[in-house]
Amino acid sequence: MRRRLLVGTLSATVFVLVVLAVPLGLVHAHQERDRITAGVQHDALALTLRVHDPLVDDDAAELRRLVDAFARDTGGRAVVVDARGVLLADSDPRGEGERDFTSRPEIAAALAGREVRGSRHSGTLRTDLFYVAAPVVADGTVRGAVRVTFPMSYVESHILRTWLLLGAGGLIVLVIVFVGGWSFAAWTTRPLRGIEQAARRLGAGDLTARAPVPDAPPELQALARSFNRTAARLGGLVDSQRALVADASHQLRTPLTALRLRLESLDRLLHDDGAPARGSQPAGGRTDAPSTDPAADIAADIAGARTEVERLSRLVDGLLALARAEERVATPVALDVGPLVTERCEAWAALYAESGVELAAAVGSGLRILATPGSPEQVLDNLISNALAVAPGGSEVSVTARAVDGGVEVVVADRGPGMTEEQRARAFDRFWSTAASGRAANRGATGGGPGGAGLGLAIVARLVESDGGEVRIGSRPGGGTEVVVLWPRGRGGDGTPAGSSVAVAGSGTG
């Protein structure tokens, strides 16, 4: 912005200078030409008066002295001819000797009794001349003529000097305007830079960011105060929302825990009284056929209630995790992808083996990403858990990482039932799950499939996007789903092609 202000100021100054200086230069050049013409004419008439007596007395030496003095004082050339146009004296040594000047139109006009002035090209001297010629009259008779000439370069040099003076003055004005404009632009934009930095911090999630209020100008003072009020109000609203979610989640955990314990205690009492085991009924509640055993119905109701309590517990945990993810201020650093993927795959290896699902990792060497410490681990845990929830026994879940244009991709792919285009479009929405369509996607630590809370992928998206990355869901060739996470590449994170380093983090029994 400083550069634009400076360019605008200089452009306006140049326009004003051109509009004013060009006409002024033209007028001054015309005046300078008139001044030079009047001066040369005055000098020519003065020389005419001086040579009158020597010309009448035929004093060649005096005439020579006068024209030499004229040339020495003015820098011009003086020529004196008699009534026939024959040269009597010439200040230019090259013009000495008897010569006839009647072929010169100005000499002819002067011998005819007229005073003339103007300019013409001299074939003899091969240059343009400015001249003044006047007759020398004695007793009413033209006794001779005087011609004074200057090269046109003499006149043009004076006019050029005028333009140079105007140009120098304009340049000085531009320098002054540049210095003043630069200072003014810096003074004006310095508060804007503070507001810009505060806005960038606020956009990155730092709700405590405030813009410094400048001493002047008043407009920027008002802008900074308005920004700070907006930031404070926004921070208050977000803090209130987070506090509400966190407080509600914490408050719900206690009664949910107590309710679960009471249900478990009641279930044990029923079992102690000889009621059918809970496994004799579907875990979700009663069957469609009416039961003739009241104790079995009670046991089924208790099992369904416990299932709902567990779902509510997952919902509470998901709300707490989402609140923490949104409250977090991203501070990305360079992290090695290989150790991250290996560590998380090893942590899930036992559970995968128990479920009969193979977990394989393929990570290019030397890959580094820019992410907030702890975020990639949480993202991978959610995605690996989601994949396990939908992967059929004997299938494989793969975790691959590779360098791409603009960053590093980490892909978690399964062989589950997959997702429709509509489901993929809504998978990152909060509290949305595929339970209605019978799919088991979007599960994980916080649930998202049947009985889930629908917050797992929402948390993943929030964590990745806060680090400047992106996440998307696609269909895996051959069936299944793949979740692609793109993180910005860290310094030195070029890596080698994916698959150059392959490790099986865990395998099932098949």
DSSP class per residue in 132-161: EEEEEEETTEEEEEEEEEEEHHHHHHHHHH
3-class state of residue 327 by DSSP? helix
SS3 content of the chain, % helix, strand, coil (to 5): 55, 20, 25
Mean pLDDT throughout 280-285? 44
Do 2-157 and 330-506 come out as alike in CATH topology?
Answer: no
pLDDT of 413 above 90: yes
129-134-136 Cα angle (round to 5): 140
What are the start-end ranges of the H helices in 57-125?
Answer: 60-74, 105-111
Q: Is residue 44 within 8 Å of 132, Cβ to Cβ? A: yes
Mean pLDDT throughout 321-350? 80
pLDDT of residue 446: 37
Residue 352 or residue 287, greater confidence: 352
Greatest alpha-carbon span in the chain: 164
Task: Kindly give, in sequence order, each residue whose CB lies less than 8 Å from that of residue 114, ignoring residues fewer than 6 positions away.
Answer: 135
Mean pLDDT throughout 433-451? 41
In terms of Cβ atoms closer than 10 Å to its own Cβ (0-12, 13-18, 19+), residue 450 is middle
pLDDT of residue 30: 73
Q: Is residue 278 within 8 Å of 267, Cβ to Cβ? A: yes
Q: How distant is the alpha carbon of residue 176 from its chain centre?
A: 29
Q: Long-range CB contacts (< 8 A, 24+ apart) of 47-55?
A: 47/78, 47/146, 47/148, 48/134, 48/135, 48/136, 48/146, 51/80, 51/89, 51/136, 51/144, 51/146, 52/136, 52/138, 55/80, 55/82, 55/88, 55/136, 55/138, 55/143, 55/144
Span 42-63, pLDDT tens digits: 888 889 899 888 888 888 899 9
pLDDT of residue 279: 45
Q: Is residue 33 within 8 Å of 159, Cβ to Cβ? A: yes
pLDDT of residue 252: 66
CATH code of 330-506, in short, is 3.30.565.10
Distance between CA atoms of residues 302 and 280, nearest Å: 13
Residue 373 or residue 452, greater confidence: 373
Mean pLDDT throughout 339-353? 92
Distance between CA atoms of residues 488 and 408, nearest Å: 6
Mean pLDDT throughout 242-267? 69
* CB environment 471-484: b (16+ within 10 A), e (fewer): bebeebeeebbbbb
pLDDT of residue 138: 87
Residue 145 or residue 120, greater confidence: 145
Distance between CA atoms of residues 363 and 336, nearest Å: 11
Span 203-251, pLDDT tens digits: 777 778 888 887 777 877 888 888 888 888 887 777 767 666 666 666 6
Q: Is 480 left (phi over 0), alpha (psi -120 to 50) or beta?
A: left
Q: Is 346 left (phi over 0), alpha (psi -120 to 50) or beta?
A: alpha
Residue that is written with structure tokens 């996440």 in the block: 471
Residue 169 identity (one-letter amino acid) = G
3-class state of residue 232 by DSSP? helix
pLDDT of 414 above 60: yes
pLDDT of residue 165: 82
pLDDT of 324 above 80: no
Distance between CA atoms of residues 447 and 178, nearest Å: 64
Residue 396 identity (one-letter amino acid) = E
Strands (E), 173-300: none
Report in angstroms the alpha-carbon separations of 291 from 76, 280, 302, 486: 135, 12, 15, 54
CATH class in words for 2-157: alpha beta
Span 157-183, pLDDT tens digits: 777 787 788 788 888 888 888 888 777
Over its C-alpha atoms, the chain yields an Rg (Å, rounded) of: 50
pLDDT of residue 145: 93
Q: Is 377 left (phi over 0), alpha (psi -120 to 50) or beta?
A: alpha
Residue that is written with structure tokens 């002819």 in the block: 108
CB atoms within 10 A of CB 211: 24
pLDDT of residue 341: 92
Token code pair at residue 301: 């109701």
Distance between CA atoms of residues 248 and 53, nearest Å: 123
Report in angstroms the alpha-carbon separations of 75 from 15, 92, 129, 177: 39, 11, 13, 41
CA atoms within 13 A on the CB side of 413: 18
Residue 4 identity (one-letter amino acid) = R
pLDDT of residue 503: 41
pLDDT of 445 above 90: no
Element holding 118 (H helix, E strand): strand 116-122
Residue that is written with structure tokens 């996470």 in the block: 485
Domain extents for the chain?
2-157, 250-323, 330-506
Mean per-residue pLDDT of the chain: 77
Residue 470 or residue 313, greater confidence: 470
3-class state of residue 88 by DSSP? strand
Mean pLDDT throughout 364-392? 89
Identify which of 63, 53, 76, 259 has the alpha carbon closest to the alpha carbon of residue 150.
Answer: 76
Distance between CA atoms of residues 220 and 225, nearest Å: 8
Which pLDDT band holds residue 273 (cuts at 50, 70, 90)?
Answer: low
